[in-house]
A = this chain, B = another copy of it.
Amino acid sequence: MKQRPVRPAAPQQPPPRRRILAAARELFYRDGIRAVGVDAIAASAGTNKMTLYRHFASKDALVAAYLEELAAEGDALWDEAAAQHPGDAEAQLRVLLKRVSQFADESSGRGCALANAAIELAEKDHPARRIIERHKVHSRERLTALCREAGYLHPERLADELFLLVEGARVSLQSVGRKGPGSRLFALAAELLDTSPRRKP
C-alpha cells in the first residue's frame, strides 16, 4: 500500500547485514551471547532469520563478526588518541584512560564485551576465543609500547598494572555496580602515571 516515491526514501535503511550486526551488537552485549537467539536478533533488525543466515553462515559466525567489529573499534581508539596527540605518548595514555573510565561511568554496567564473550564461550577451541585473545594481547602490547615511549623506566610493569586496573574496573561494574571501585579508575591510573619513575628527558 505504499506509494512508491520517485526516489527511494531518503532515510533509506542500511542494508540488512549492517542492521543485523547492529542488532546483534546491542542484544549480545546487553543480554549475553548465549541468552540471545537468532530469531530475536533478526526481529530486532527488522528482518528475519532467513536473511540473517544469508549473510552469516551460523550464529557462531555472527558472533565472530560481532567480536571482530568490537576489536576493530577498540583498535581505532588507539589510532584516534595517536592522531589527537601525535608524538606525545603520555597524553595519548591519559586520553585513552579517560575514555575507558568515562565508558565505565556511562555504560550500562556490562563491562567489556570481549571479556564477557570469553567467559560465556568457555570452550577453549571456540573460534571467538582467538579473536578475543588476539585483541587483548594486542592491546597489552600497544599499552606497553606507549608506556615505553612515554619514558617510563619499567614500561612492562606499568602497562600491566594499568591493564589490570582497566580490566578490573570493567568487570567489577557488574558485581559492585557503578559506584564501586571502578569509579576511581581514572584517579588511580592517573596517579600511577604521575608517580611511576621515568627517564629524565
Taking Cβ atoms with an 8 Å cutoff, the residues of A that contact B are 30-32, 34-35, 110-111, 114-116, 118-120, 122-123, 132-133, 135-137, 140, 157, 159-161, 163-172, 174-177, 180-182, 184-185, 187-188
Contacts and interface: CB of A to CB of B under 8 A. Distances in A.
Contacts of A110: 122
Contact of A164 (B35, B157, B169): B169
A175 B35 contact: no
Contacts of A177: 133
Contacts of A31: 122-123
Q: Closest 3 A-B residue pairs measured CB to CB?
A: A168-B168, A164-B168, A160-B181
A123 B108 CA distance: 12
B168 A122 contact: no
- The listed residue with most B CB atoms (<10 A of its CB), out of A30, A110, A136, A174, is A174
B174 A163 contact: no
